[in-house]
Amino acid sequence: MTSAAYTSTQKFLHWSLFVLVLLLYALTYGENLLPRGDPTVESIWRLHISFGLLLAGLVLWRVVLRGLRGAPGFPDEMSAPERAAAKVGHLVLYALLIAIPVLGILLTWFRGDELSFFGLFTVPAPFAPDRTTARTIRELHSLCADGILIAAGLHALAALYHHFVRRDAILTRMLPKVAK
């Protein structure tokens, strides 16, 4: 099923994921500004895990909703290559949004830590710590995190191009409705 605009829930999830990705990135780099051994680093790490789990839950919700509701069709003026590029771009974003939390969960477990969601519940590591595996997963996690910033940046540029140059409704269909 497709419509002219995304549902309010789809819009909420889109912008929530955007904010969470930025927050998680900020937490990562905020941690790097502190000296090694600073107790704040542990708190930042726990927040990063909790917000990462929130991201995972919202991504799952978004993927299910996308499967059930679909997405609005492209404007008729879009060429076949533009439509293909948009589909590939969305596929890359979804793949990264799934890969990043999965890798983060595995990284946490291979470090020997438990997953904790804001202290409300914990999930112990199902296997023994493995520093070599954790290091590899951390590199993949970081690579995907950098990749999502690039993909999201290109996504935003494309939306702005459509809004200001093409003057179509691509951007506005994802913006919240303004009460009149």
Reported as a single tens digit per residue, the pLDDT across 91-147 is 999 999 999 999 999 999 999 999 999 999 999 999 999 999 999 999 999 999 999
Residue-level pLDDT at 180: 59
> Is residue 176 a part of any domain in this protein?
no
List the domain range (segments joined by +) for residue 129. Answer: 8-168
> Is residue 16 a part of any domain in this protein?
yes
pLDDT at 78 over 60: yes
Q: 49: exposed, middle or buried (C-beta count within 10 Å: 0-12, 13-18, 19+)?
A: buried
Give yes or no for a contact between 11 and 174, defined as CB atoms under 8 angstroms apart.
yes
Structure tokens at 25: 């990135």
pLDDT bin (cut points 50, 70, 90) of residue 36 is confident
Residue-level pLDDT at 177: 80
Give the start-end residues of each E strand in 99-171. 115-116, 122-123
> Is residue 180 a part of any domain in this protein?
no
Residue-level pLDDT at 30: 86
Residue-level pLDDT at 2: 52
- Average pLDDT for residues 70-77, to the nearest whole number? 89
> Is residue 45 a part of any domain in this protein?
yes
> Is residue 83 a part of any domain in this protein?
yes
Residue-level pLDDT at 179: 61
What would the pLDDT profile of 1-34 be if each residue is shown by its tens digit?
A: 456 789 999 999 999 999 999 999 999 988 888 8
Residue at 128: amino acid letter: A
Residue 178, by phi and psi: left (phi above 0), alpha (psi -120 to 50) or beta? beta
Number of domains into which the chain is organized: 1
The pTM score is: 0.92
> Is residue 2 a part of any domain in this protein?
no
DSSP sequence for 64-110: HHHHHH--PPPPTTS-HHHHHHHHHHHHHHHHHHHHHHHHHHHHHHH
* Alpha-carbon gap, residue 146 to 13, rounded angstroms: 21
Q: What are phi and psi of 122, to 5 degrees?
A: -130, 150
